C-alpha cells in the first residue's frame, strides 16, 4: 500500500501520465473496501453495502487524465490562454452544416408510446396533443425567425432553414440544440392550455430528439415534405383502421395486426366503411394531412384573391438570387454570413404565423407562397 501511494504522488506531480495513476488508485480503493466488508461480516453484524470510495484531490487530478493526452497548445496559444485549463477548449469539435444548402431540423418524441400512455392520449389521434405540437411549433417559429416553414404530425416536426441561413454560422450542435430545446420548453409551457381538465396534468417530462440534414435543391426539399406527408397518410389510415378494430370491433391488438397485415389502402378504406361506417375522407383533415406552420406575409384580403401576390405593405425578407456561375463560391458565402439577423427578424415579426392542414405534395401550396423556399423557388 505504501508503494502505491508513493507512485501516485510521483505521478500527480508529473501531471502528464494518464493511465497508470488511475489503475493504482482504483486498486488501492478496491482492496480497502473488500477488507472492510470482510471485517464487518466476521464481526457478525448485518452486512452493509460497501460505501463508495471518497474522492481525494489526487483522485480528481487523476480523473482529469482519463482521456487521451490533449493536443498541446502552440506557444502563441499558450500565451493567450486565460488559464492552464483552457487547453480543454481544443477538444471541442464543432461541425458546420454545408454552406449553400437547405437545412431540415427534424425533431421526434422520445419514447412517446410510453409518454402518450401515461398521459392517456386518445386513440388513434388526440386533437389536444396535436394542437399542442402545432402551438409549440408556432412558438418555435416566432422565437427563431430564420425558420421558413415547419411541418409535422403525431410526435414529430420538421423545420426548414434557407440556403442563406447564417444563424450560429450554421453550427450544427447549436442549431439542433436550440430548436429542440425551444420546442420542448414551449411544449411543457403550453401543456396546461391544451389539457385543461383535472387529472390531465403532465405526469412525466416529455423529451424530443433532433437531427439536421442538408439538402442541395428545391426539388429535394419538396420531395422531403412530400415524403413526410405521404407517411402521415399511410400511418393515419393504418392507425384509424387498427383502433376501429380494437375499440369499436372489440378485436385484440394482435388479431387486429394480423387482419391488417398486407392490406392495401383500398382494403383499409373498405374495412372502415363496411364494418364501422367510417368514411376515411371525412376524418378530420388535421389527422389526414398533418400540420404546416409558416409565416404568411399576405393580408387576409390577399388570401381571398386568386393568385395573389404578397401585400405591398408587408414583404417577405429579400432573398438574394444567385447569378449563374456564382454558386458555391467563397465570396458569396462571406457576403451571406454578413446578412443582419435583425433584418430577418424585423420582417418576419410583421408576418402572421399560420397553421394549416393542406396538401403540400402538389405544386399549388408552394406556388402561392413563393417566399417559403427562399431564393431557390
Closer to Mg ion by Cβ: residue 154 or 269: 154
All cell numbers assigned to 290: 398533418
Closer to Mg ion by Cβ: residue 64 or 122: 122
Minimum distance from residue 113 beta carbon to Mg ion (Å): 9
The one among 59, 146, 155, 296 contacting Mg ion by CB under 5 A:
155
How far, CA to CA in Å, does 174 sit from each of 171, 199, 310, 341? 6, 36, 32, 16
Among 66-74, 149-157, 260-268, 328-336, the segment contacting Mg ion (CB under 5 A)? 149-157
Minimum distance from residue 132 beta carbon to Mg ion (Å): 15
Residue given cell 398533418 in the structure block: 290
Letters for 50-89 (x = contact with Mg ion by CB under 5 A, - = none) are ----------------------------------------
What is the radius of gyration, based on Cα positions, of the chain?
29
CA 112 from chain centre, in angstroms, equals 14
SS3 63: helix
DSSP 376: G
Closer to Mg ion by Cβ: residue 156 or 296: 156
DSSP 68: P
Distance separating alpha carbons of residues 321 and 100, to the nearest angstrom: 12
Name residues whose C-beta falls within 8 Å of residue 33's C-beta, 6 or more positions apart in sequence.
50, 51, 53
Among 12-20, 40-48, 150-158, 345-353, the segment contacting Mg ion (CB under 5 A)? 150-158
Among 95-103, 148-156, 186-194, 236-244, the segment contacting Mg ion (CB under 5 A)? 148-156
Q: Is 281 left (phi over 0), alpha (psi -120 to 50) or beta?
A: alpha
Closer to Mg ion by Cβ: residue 231 or 359: 231
Mode of pairing for the β-strands spanning 352-356 and 291-296: antiparallel
Closer to Mg ion by Cβ: residue 59 or 156: 156
Minimum distance from residue 200 beta carbon to Mg ion (Å): 22
Minimum distance from residue 109 beta carbon to Mg ion (Å): 5
Among 22-30, 101-109, 135-143, 361-369, the segment contacting Mg ion (CB under 5 A)? 101-109
Q: How many CA atoms lie within 13 A of 166 on its CB side?
A: 16
Q: Is 190 left (phi over 0), alpha (psi -120 to 50) or beta?
A: alpha
Minimum distance from residue 57 beta carbon to Mg ion (Å): 47
- Pick from 227, 221, 225, 212: nearest CA to 151: 225
Distance separating alpha carbons of residues 158 and 152, to the nearest angstrom: 6
Minimum distance from residue 136 beta carbon to Mg ion (Å): 15
> What are the backbone angles phi and psi of residue 158, rounded to the nearest 5°?
-115, 135
DSSP 151: E
Closer to Mg ion by Cβ: residue 108 or 359: 108
Minimum distance from residue 107 beta carbon to Mg ion (Å): 9
All cell numbers assigned to 292: 404546416
CA 353 from chain centre, in angstroms, equals 21
Residue given cell 510521483 in the structure block: 10
Number of residues that bind Mg ion (CB under 5 A): 3
SS3 239: helix
108 binds Mg ion (CB under 5 A): yes
Among 107-115, 190-198, 222-230, 329-337, the segment contacting Mg ion (CB under 5 A)? 107-115
Letters for 24-43 (x = contact with Mg ion by CB under 5 A, - = none) are --------------------
Closer to Mg ion by Cβ: residue 109 or 317: 109
Closer to Mg ion by Cβ: residue 27 or 211: 211
Closer to Mg ion by Cβ: residue 59 or 155: 155
Minimum distance from residue 92 beta carbon to Mg ion (Å): 31
Minimum distance from residue 228 beta carbon to Mg ion (Å): 11
Site residues (CB under 5 A) for Mg ion?
Answer: 108, 155-156
Amino acid at each position: 500500500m505504501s508503494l502505491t501511494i508513493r507512485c501516485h504522488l510521483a505521478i500527480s506531480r508529473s501531471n502528464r501520465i494518464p493511465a497508470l495513476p488511475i489503475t493504482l488508485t482504483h486498486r488501492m480503493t478496491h482492496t480497502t473496501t473488500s477488507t472492510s466488508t470482510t471485517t464487518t461480516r466476521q464481526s457478525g453484524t448485518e452486512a452493509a453495502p460497501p460505501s463508495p470510495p471518497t474522492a481525494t484531490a489526487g483522485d480528481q487530478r487523476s480523473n482529469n487524465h482519463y482521456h487521451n493526452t490533449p493536443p498541446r497548445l502552440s506557444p502563441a496559444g499558450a500565451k493567450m490562454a486565460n488559464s492552464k485549463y483552457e487547453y480543454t477548449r481544443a477538444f471541442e469539435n464543432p461541425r458546420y452544416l454545408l454552406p449553400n444548402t437547405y437545412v431540415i431540423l427534424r425533431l421526434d418524441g422520445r419514447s412517446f408510446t410510453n409518454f402518450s400512455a401515461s398521459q392517456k392520449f386518445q386513440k388513434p389521434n388526440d386533437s389536444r396533443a396535436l394542437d399542442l405540437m402545432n402551438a409549440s411549433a408556432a412558438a418555435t417559429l416566432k422565437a427563431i425567425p430564420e425558420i421558413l416553414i415547419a411541418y409535422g404530425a403525431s410526435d414529430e416536426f420538421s423545420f426548414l432553414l434557407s440556403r442563406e441561413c447564417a444563424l450560429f454560422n450554421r453550427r450544427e450542435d447549436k442549431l439542433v440544440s436550440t430548436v429542440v430545446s425551444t420546442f420542448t420548453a414551449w411544449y411543457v409551457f403550453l401543456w396546461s392550455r391544451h389539457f385543461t381538465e383535472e387529472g390531465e396534468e403532465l405526469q412525466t417530462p416529455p423529451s424530443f430528439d433532433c437531427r439536421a440534414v442538408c439538402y442541395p435543391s428545391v426539388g429535394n426539399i419538396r420531395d422531403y415534405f412530400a415524403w413526410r406527408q405521404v407517411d402521415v397518410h399511410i400511418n393515419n389510415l393504418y392507425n384509424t383502421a387498427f383502433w376501429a378494430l380494437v375499440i369499436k370491433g372489440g378485436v385484440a391488438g394482435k388479431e387486429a395486426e394480423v387482419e391488417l397485415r398486407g392490406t392495401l389502402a383500398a382494403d383499409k378504406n373498405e374495412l372502415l366503411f363496411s364494418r364501422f361506417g367510417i368514411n376515411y375522407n371525412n376524418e378530420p383533415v388535421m389527422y389526414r394531412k398533418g400540420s404546416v406552420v409558416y409565416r404568411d406575409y399576405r393580408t387576409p384580403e390577399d388570401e381571398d384573391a386568386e393568385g395573389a401576390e404578397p401585400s405591398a405593405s408587408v414583404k417577405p425578407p429579400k432573398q438574394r438570387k444567385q447569378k449563374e456561375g456564382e454558386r458555391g463560391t467563397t465570396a458569396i458565402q462571406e457576403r451571406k454570413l454578413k446578412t443582419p439577423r435583425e433584418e430577418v427578424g424585423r420582417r418576419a415579426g410583421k408576418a402572421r404565423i399560420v397553421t394549416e392542414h393542406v396538401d403540400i405534395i402538389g405544386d399549388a401550396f408552394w406556388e402561392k407562397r413563393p417566399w417559403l423556399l427562399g431564393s431557390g423557388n
